[in-house]
Amino acid sequence: MKQGPSRVHGSTVRTISLFSGCGGSDLALSDLGYRVVFANDISETACKTYEDNLGPIIRAGDIAEHASFPNADFLVGCYPCQGFTQGGRRNAGDSINYLYQHFDRVLRTVLPKAFVVENVNGMAYGDNRQLLNNQLCRYRLAGYRVSWQVLDAQHHGVAQSRRRVFIVGIRSDLDFVYRFPLPLYGKDSGTRPVSQEDVLRGMPEWPTGDFNEEPFHWYYLSRNRRHDWEDPSPCIVGHWRHVPLHPMSPPLKRINTDKWEFTYDGRARRLAYLECAALQGFPRHFKFERGSVRERFQMIGNAVPPPLFKAVVSGLCGLW
């Protein structure tokens, strides 16, 4: 097993967390020894889940309603931009795609030493690149040296193929150069990726009520939703109808463009929400007891995999 990043010295790095969700990013920060002094998310269910696991730090509500913030050295944000995702419906004009403007507002108000942003990788390609460029420009004008990279969670100890954009900024008056983490798993690392079997072993085979039991629609079977036990999972999404197949399901074969079929008759099901949480890198003791089952899928699928966020933030330890 690869050695994980070390903790920062003490708990002195005061941190503001925006668009915190159920706490994937902040669980990583807690493990590294950071002190979150303000967290916010618009989802009541996600905030209650955050409190169940990380304490009553988070405030539920629209970030636009907050005008003042505590002093902090570090700012993190995982604002949604679903209009630029590579899976599901897209709407580039949706106002949710411009929540980065509120992150920029807080950045200019607090002026932390550094910040980290996580977002969907769809904005890094084609016509969508303009949204990414807008963010980079804003943050540089705010006084930060900014770099970005697309990282795949499976290269950093997560049992899932999940590519996301990370933006890291260092305040321009500080003599520190950030470097993104190198892959610890897969590729040329010499260590195989964490597999579905590694994290799902011992979990119930058929947890009735904890997964979507609707028939598989043609759209669901328009792509390969199943990976083998020894492989990482396909990307965990927030919609319970579209989460991947459990590896116990029969393999799929491609019939033609956008059409896949099971290779034989057998029991097949989508992943359960606790399985999705495990494949996102949440520890089994992390509680998901709030909201409906559908809401649990949503907040798990929208979360940042804690091991991936930890890998990104660990590169800042020399700054403090």
CA torsion 17-102-242-90 (nearest 10°) is -160
| Residue 18 CB partners (closer than 8 Å, separation 6+) | 39, 40, 63, 75, 76, 77, 78, 79, 102, 103, 106
Active site residue 276: no
Which is it for the CA torsion 183, 184, 190, 191, positive or negative?
A: negative
Q: What are the residues facing 117 on neighbouring strands?
A: 77, 167
22, 47, 81, 276: the catalytic one is 81
Task: Give the strand order in the sheet containing 114-120.
Answer: 58-60, 35-41, 14-18, 74-77, 114-120, 163-171, 144-152
| Phi, psi angles (nearest 5°) of residue 183 | -60, 130
Q: Give Cα 69 distance to the centre of its chain.
A: 24
Distance in angstroms (rounded) separating the CA atoms of residues 178 and 139: 15
Task: Show which residues are catalytic.
Answer: 81
